[in-house]
C-alpha cells in the first residue's frame, strides 16, 4: 500500500475524543488548560534560578528526518562521551521500534552516560502499522494510544527495567486517550506541547513546566513545553521547500533579536545561545530539542554538524552549570523538582 506523505505542519487536529491536537505551527490544542505553572526564579538544586533541558528525538529514518541512520547511531557514542565529560545529563526520546530493531547498544551508551531514556512512542508514524493516512496519536482511540505508549515503554525497559518515567509523542500530537494511557502506565512527565512564544504567543503555553488539564480532567503528569520554532537547525538549514514555516520562524527570530540569519550549524549555535541567554534573563525553564539524524546531513557549508553545532552548545551549558548560572537537567529531574516544589507548599 502506498503511504501518503504528510508535512509536519498541517491544518489538522485530533480525530478521536473531545480534546487534543498540537500547537506546532500555531495550532492550539482543543480543551487544554494550564494548572500550577512552576514560578519564575525558582531556586534549583545547584542554586541557579534558571534551568535548561537538552533533549533529543532519536528516530533515525523511522521518523521524517533525513540523513544516515547508521552514522546517527554511531554518533551517540561520542555524543554520550562528551556529555559524560561535561557532567551534562540529557533526555533521549527514542522511538521504541528503532531501539528494538537496531539493537540496544546505542541506548546503553545513553544510560551509561547517566542520561535519561524515554520513548518517542513505539511507532513514529502510526499509519505504518495501522495503515490508512492517519499518522498522529491524536487520530486514534484508546487502545491504539495505549499500545503506542505501552510498547514504547516496554522497548526501553527491556534494556533497563523500571527506568521509564515519561514520554514525548511523535509530532507532539495527542488527544485525551494519549494522556489517559500515560496515566494508566504510571508515567510522571510528558513533553508534547510547544512553547510557541515567538510567532504564536497566544497559542503557546510558556516554557515552564505545568500540570496539564484536558477539559475538566487534571492529569497527574508534569507537562514540559518544548521549543517548537527555533528548535532543530537541520529542519530549516536543509529543507526550506517542505518546512517553509520553520524557516520563516527562525528568520523572524533572528530579525527580532538582531542575529545574523545564517543557515549553518554555527549560525544555529548563535540562536540556541540566545535562547539560553533569554532563559537566564527571564529566570525560567527552557527545553531545547534536537533530532540527531539531521546532524548526519552532508553539505559543503559544514564539515561535521556534531562538532560544529552540538558540542559548542554542550560546552556552553557545562560552563554555565559549573558557575551556578543554570541547572541542566533531564525531564525526569525537572518533574521531580516540580512535584517537590508544590508538595512543599501544600498545593
> What is the full DSSP assignment across 52-108?
EEEEEEE-GGGSS--S-HHHHHHHHHHHHHHHHHTT---EEEE-HHHHHHH-SHHHH
pLDDT per residue as tens digits for the range 113-166: 999 999 999 999 999 999 988 999 999 999 999 999 999 999 999 999 999 999
Q: Is 94 inside any structural domain?
A: yes
pLDDT per residue as tens digits for the range 66-109: 789 999 999 999 999 999 999 999 999 999 999 999 999 999 99
Report d(CA 244, CA 185) in Å as an integer. Answer: 37
pLDDT per residue as tens digits for the range 264-294: 888 899 999 999 999 999 999 999 999 999 8
Residue 200 sits in a domain of what CATH number?
Answer: 3.20.20.370
Q: Is 51 inside any structural domain?
A: yes
Q: Is 8 inside any structural domain?
A: no
> Could you tell me the three cell numbers for 318?
557545562
The share of the chain scoring above pLDDT 70, in percent, equals 93
184 or 346: which leads in pLDDT: 184
Report d(CA 194, CA 22) in Å as an integer. Answer: 8
Report d(CA 151, CA 265) in Å as an integer. Answer: 35
Q: Is 13 inside any structural domain?
A: no
**What is the longest distance spanned by two Cα atoms in the chain?**
57
Q: Is 6 inside any structural domain?
A: no
Q: Is 9 inside any structural domain?
A: no
Q: Whole-prediction pTM value?
A: 0.95
Range of the domain at 314: 20-344
Spatial neighbors of 208 by CB under 8 A, at least 6 apart, are: 37, 38, 39, 40, 225, 284, 285
Report d(CA 227, CA 285) in Å as an integer. Answer: 11
Report d(CA 252, CA 230) in Å as an integer. Answer: 10
Q: Please count the structural domains in the chain.
A: 1
Q: 224 with 194: CB under 8 angstroms?
A: no
What pLDDT shows up at residue 25?
Answer: 66
Q: Is 234 inside any structural domain?
A: yes
Amino acid at each position: 500500500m502506498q503511504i501518503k506523505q504528510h508535512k509536519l505542519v498541517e491544518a489538522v487536529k485530533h480525530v478521536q475524543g473531545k480534546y487534543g491536537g498540537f500547537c506546532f505551527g500555531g495550532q492550539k490544542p482543543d480543551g487544554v488548560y494550564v494548572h500550577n505553572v512552576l514560578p519564575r526564579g525558582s531556586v534549583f538544586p545547584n542554586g541557579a534560578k534558571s534551568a535548561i533541558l537538552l533533549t533529543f528525538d532519536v528516530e533515525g529514518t523511522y521518523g521524517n528526518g533525513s540523513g544516515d541512520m547508521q552514522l546517527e547511531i554511531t554518533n551517540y557514542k561520542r555524543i554520550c562521551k562528551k556529555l559524560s565529560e561535561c557532567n551534562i545529563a540529557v533526555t533521549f526520546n527514542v522511538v521504541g521500534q528503532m531501539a528494538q530493531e537496531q539493537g540496544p547498544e546505542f541506548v546503553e551508551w545513553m544510560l551509561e552516560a547517566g542520561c535519561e531514556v524515554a520513548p518517542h512512542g513505539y511507532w513514529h508514524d502510526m499509519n505504518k502499522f495501522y495503515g490508512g493516512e492517519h499518522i498522529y496519536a491524536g487520530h486514534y482511540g484508546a487502545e491504539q494510544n495505549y499500545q503506542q505508549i505501552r510498547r514504547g515503554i516496554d522497548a526501553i525497559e527491556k534494556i533497563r527495567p523500571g527506568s521509564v518515567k515519561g514520554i514525548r509523542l511523535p509530532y507532539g500530537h495527542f488527544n485525551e486517550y494519549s494522556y489517559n494511557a500515560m496515566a494508566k502506565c504510571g508515567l510522571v512527565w510528558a513533553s508534547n506541547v510547544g512553547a510557541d512564544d515567538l510567532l504564536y504567543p497566544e497559542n503557546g503555553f510558556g516554557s515552564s513546566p505545568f500540570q496539564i488539564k484536558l477539559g475538566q480532567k487534571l492529569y497527574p503528569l508534569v507537562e514540559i513545553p518544548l521549543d517548537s520554532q527555533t528548535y532543530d537547525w537541520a529542519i530549516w538549514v536543509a529543507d526550506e521547500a517542505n518546512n517553509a514555516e520553520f524557516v520563516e520562524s527562525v528568520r523572524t527570530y533572528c530579525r527580532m533579536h538582531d542575529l545574523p540569519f545564517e543557515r549553518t550549524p554555527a549560525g544555529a549555535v548563535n540562536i540556541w545561545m540566545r535562547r539560553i541567554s533569554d532563559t537566564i534573563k527571564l529566570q525560567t525553564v527552557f527545553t531545547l530539542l534536537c533530532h540527531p539524524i539531521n546532524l548526519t546531513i552532508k553539505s559543503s557549508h559544514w564539515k561535521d554538524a556534531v562538532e560544529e553545532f552540538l558540542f559548542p552548545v554542550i560546552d556552553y551549558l557545562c560552563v554555565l552549570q559549573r558557575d551556578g548560572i543554570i541547572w541542566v537537567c533531564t525531564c525526569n529531574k525537572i518533574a521531580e523538582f516540580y512535584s517537590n516544589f508544590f508538595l512543599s507548599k501544600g498545593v
